[in-house]
Amino acid sequence: MSRLLADWRDRPTHYKVWGLAAPMILSNVSVPMVALVDSAVIGHLPHAHQLGAVAVGGSLYTLLVAVLGFLRMGSTGFAAQAAGRSDGAALRQVLVQGLLLALLFALLLGVLALPFSHLALGLMNPSAALEQSTRDFFQIRLLGLPAALATYALVGWFLGTQNARAPLMILLATNVLNIILNLWFVLGLDWGVMGSARASVIAEWSAALLGLAMTRPSLRAYPGKIAWALLAQWQSWRPLLSVNRDIFIRSLALQGVFFLITVQGARMGEATVAANALLLNGLLLTAYALDGLAHAVEALCGHAIGAGDRQALRRSLTVACGWSLLASVGFALLFLLGGHWFIQLQTDIPSVRETAFVYLPYLALLPLIAVWSYLLDGLFIGATRAREMRNGMLVSVAIALPFAWLASGLGNHGLWLAFLLFMALRGVTLGVMGWRLQRSDGWFA
């Protein structure tokens, strides 16, 4: 206990954690703010199917993009460890490999996206108006896919170099642009659902171009040259692809859970799927804010592992853990006391509001349960321990799915109870694996 308190009282570690976490929290919170603005703007249009189209179409697009979250996570871990070794050549290799993978997967998903959307909508069995609006929204959003994936790789690479300012500038600038264009296109030009999709595409391409422009000054801090010949060799790709494969499986399972929530909600009616989308916006707001501290853990722990500094690893994790707990309590109180205002801000459709109010207690519980999985994800990403992340996620899904099936008779209450169990299991499984690695000094193996 005395060592734990000593780690918590280490003021330089607090400065390091918040030096990375504060700009990442600001930039991360701007991401769900875009979803909130989308919902608020579309939610004040006259028909529930318009809000449902943005919710369902956005979920389909997010599923495609989020399962490729390894483009950010893999880049962060390898870039952080390369920075810890002051290896400029390796940093350049990670950057180029991340961008090439983003382009490759954008082309692949571009081919699969439309058949995927047809299958998904068939499973949901939506109304004719909801289905057509969702198809239109989704097809336009696909134009921004290459840019979105490239931005993933760029943000992960910047974070690995402990440059939190660049992701802040990228995400804030582009998300503010998205908000402005959303208001203009939807309300000013009366483009409706299509205007919201067009605003998002323009913002995604702006993010990618700005990120590319900012790599040059960042590279000056780490002198070196990229070995282009190595990029043609399988051996140079193997570590990154191995980690990315496991993170991909983990992300696919995670997004599959969110997709099932959308599918099940859509079967319960337009008001339920729209209400769940508004509540999940609250989860996104919480997750992106707490991920700012998790991103600090990724960069600092990865750097400590690359430098072989066990004390820095322990102190970084202790400080980030303490602040994450405090932040999660704050979010729980926010949703408990101000949840009705949060829903009313997003929509004035009576049926959607009334449905969302019923399930607000679940949203208030989520930050306290989910915070541990966010924090531990950061540790495992920084250590490039993707296999453990994959296994923990698969175990969590395997346990939660049967419970969800048994609770299906409870309707949307059963859906939310199963989701809470799933988020708790994520933290428990990663905690057990982390404890085993700590006992065997496996973080530095």
Containing 440, the helix (H) or strand (E) segment is none
Amino acid 394 reads L
Q: Would you state the pLDDT for residue 262?
A: 72
> In 192-267, where does DSSP find H-type helix?
192-220, 234-267
* Local confidence band at 347 (pLDDT 50, 70, 90 cut-offs): confident
| Residue 46 pLDDT grade (very low, low, confident, very high; cuts 50, 70, 90) | low
Q: Where are the alpha helices (DSSP H) in 359-411?
A: 360-382, 386-406
How far apart, in whole angstroms, are the C-alpha atoms of residue 75 and residue 102?
Answer: 11
Q: What is the mean pLDDT of residues 243-247?
A: 82
Q: According to the model, what pLDDT value does residue 368 have? A: 92
* pLDDT (0 to 100) of residue 426: 93
Flag whether pLDDT at 153 surpasses 80.
yes
pLDDT surpassing 90 at residue 428: yes
Phi, psi of 347 (to 5 degrees): -155, 150
Indicate if the pLDDT at residue 1 is higher than 70.
Answer: no
Q: What is the dihedral of CA 204, 205, 208, 212, to 10 degrees?
A: -160
Over residues 15-25, the pLDDT tens digits come to 888 887 887 77
What is the Cα 190 distance to its own chain's centre?
Answer: 31
Mean predicted confidence (pLDDT) in 137-162 = 85
Q: Calculate the average pLDDT of the chain.
A: 81
Range of the domain at 66: 2-444
**pLDDT tier at 121 (50, 70, 90 boundaries)?**
low
Q: Nearest 5°: phi and psi at 127?
A: -70, 165
Number of domains in the chain: 1
DSSP for 55-118 reads HHHHHHHHHHHHTTTHHHHHHHHHHHHHHHTT-HHHHHHHHHHHHHHHHHHHHHHHHHHHHHHH
Q: How confident is the model at residue 330 (pLDDT cuts 50, 70, 90)?
A: very high
Q: What is the pLDDT of residue 278?
A: 83
Token digits of residue 441: 């000094």
pTM listed for this prediction = 0.70
* Non-local CB neighbours of 63 within 8 Å, separated by 6+ positions: 255, 256, 258, 259
> Which of the 8 DSSP states describes residue 200?
H
Is the distance from CB of 364 to CB of 337 less than 8 angstroms? no
Confidence at residue 351, expressed as pLDDT on a 0 to 100 scale: 81
Q: Confidence class of residue 445 from pLDDT cuts 50, 70 and 90? A: low
Q: How far apart are the first and last CA of the chain?
A: 26
223's tokens = 């002198």
CA dihedral over 309, 312, 316, 319, signed as positive or negative: positive
pLDDT band at 432 (very low <50, low <70, confident <90, very high): very high
> How large is the average pLDDT for residues 413-442?
88
226: phi > 0 → left, psi -120 to 50 → alpha, else beta; which? Answer: beta
Interval 214-231 mean pLDDT: 79
Structure confidence at residue 260 as a pLDDT band (50, 70, 90): confident
162-189: per-residue pLDDT in tens? 887 888 888 878 878 888 888 888 777 8
Alpha-carbon span 349 to 353, nearest angstrom? 6
Q: Binning pLDDT at 50, 70 and 90, where does residue 43 land?
A: low
What is the amino acid identity at position 298? E
Please report the beta strands in 313-378, taking only residues with DSSP state E, as ranges in sequence order.
none
| Mean pLDDT computed over 58-79 | 76
Which of 29-38, 167-176, 400-409, 424-433 shows the lowest mean pLDDT across its residues?
Answer: 29-38
pLDDT band at 52 (very low <50, low <70, confident <90, very high): low
What pLDDT score was predicted for residue 414? 86
Query: Stretch 81-104: mean pLDDT, rounded?
Result: 84
- What are the two backbone dihedrals, phi and then psi, of residue 2, each rounded to the nearest 5 degrees? -65, -35
Average pLDDT, integer, range 235-243: 79
CA 70 to chain centre: 10
Residues 231-239 have a mean pLDDT of 76
User: What is the percent of the chain with per-residue pLDDT over 70, rounded to a whole number?
Assistant: 88
pLDDT of residue 394: 93
Report residue 53's pLDDT band, with 50, 70 and 90 as the boundaries: low
| Lowest mean pLDDT segment, chosen from 119-133, 260-274, 431-445 | 119-133
pLDDT in the model for residue 421: 93
CA distances from 258 to 54, 251, 296 (A): 15, 11, 25
